[in-house]
Structure 1
Amino acid sequence: MIPDFAKAEDARAWLAGVLEGFSCQTGTLHKADGEWLDLVVQVGVPDFLLPKIERIPFGKGIAGVAAERREPVELCNLQQDLGGVARPDARETKVSGSLAVPVISPDGSVVLGTLGVGMQDPHDFTDEEKARLSGIASDIGKTWSGC
């Protein structure tokens, strides 16, 4: 059940439940505003990093790349990312395995945001895990589109 994201405590509790289902310690949900992603809710992100993730341009960082590509973006070990997807400050989360998926409108025409999860240990997310997180993101897309 997707919560009323206007109620911060409901949104945090919902995201904490998502994280538990993936054995993850951190998570973010961003909503798109043009070519930018604005933070809706987060769990487990250190306070000193919040200013850096409150507003992310498409194409930057894991969430921004997921939005730009319109597909899941995974890093097995964010601490050793050599591909340049992760921003240098992302390593300060102490998260290793991370996955971000786009939230897309039901008709597939618009990126509405991103949903991301991360865990402290390196992890290759399975196709099933990617599909499951994408399914949750799809439910958010339906809610945000009013469908």
Structure 2
Amino acid sequence: MSLTNTALLEEIHNDINDDNPNWDKILKDIISYFDCSTGTLHFLEEGSDLLKLKSQVGIPPFLIPKLETIPIGKGMAGIAAERKQPVEMCNLQTDNSGVARPAAKETKVEGSLAAPLLLNGNLYGTVGVAKPTSYDFTEDEKNAIMAIGEVICKKIVE
């Protein structure tokens, strides 16, 4: 991990622990940390099985209404939430598994990673990042996004 990534990870942690976190900036820094171009941050709506969009970067405006509310079990974010583990696609554009929703292909991204926000086994939302090119996320990257998610959860439950 480069010094830049280490410093960026420290900045992400500091920003999350701020009294009033700027979720847009935090998501931008997470996207930058993973060298991605787009991302989403959803928080679980209390008392429901719905993920509500908290922040997004790089999503085409016409797709935002489709991403504002995601049922658990639907699309990459919903499946990551349901399984309580990261869901990855090397190339979202060529995926035929049915995990990615048809509208997701309209983002024009390829390498994608969605991870649940978990703390002590409890789900609080999801975070997703994507690259404009095909990419296989490493185990270290999956572990890093899960660790960032845990820090986010600690702030949510404060």
- For the residues of structure 2 that align with 1:114 and 1:68, how far apart are their CA atoms? 10
Alignment pair present for 1:82 and 2:96: yes
Which residue among 112, 133, 139 is the counterpart of 1:127? 139
Q: Which runs of 5+ in 2 are unaligned?
A: 1-13
Which string of whole-angstrom CA distances, capped at 9 and with x for unpartnered residues, describes residues 15-36 of structure 1? 1111111110001110112211
Give the corresponding residue for 1:94. 108
What SS does structure 1 have at the residue aligned with 2:156?
helix
Preserved CA contact (<8 Å) 1:3 1:11: no
Which string of whole-angstrom CA distances, capped at 9 and with x for unpartnered residues, describes residues 99-132 of structure 1? 0110013x22x21100100010010000000001
Larger gyration radius, structure 1 or structure 2: 2
What TM-score comes out, normalization by structure 1 length?
0.92
Give the corresponding residue for 1:32. 44
Preserved CA contact (<8 Å) 2:79 2:87: yes
- For the residues of structure 2 that align with 1:43 and 1:5, how far apart are their CA atoms? 22
Q: Which runs of 5+ in 1 are unaligned?
A: none
Identity of aligned residues (%): 48
Give, in angstroms, the shift of residue 5 of structure 1: 9.5
Runs of 4+ in 1 over 4 A off after TM superposition: 3-7
Q: For 1:13-92, list aligned pairs within 5 A.
A: 13-33=25-45, 34-92=48-106
Q: Match for 2:126: what amino acid?
A: T
- For the residues of structure 2 that align with 1:121 and 1:21, how far apart are their CA atoms? 16
| Equivalent pairs, count | 142
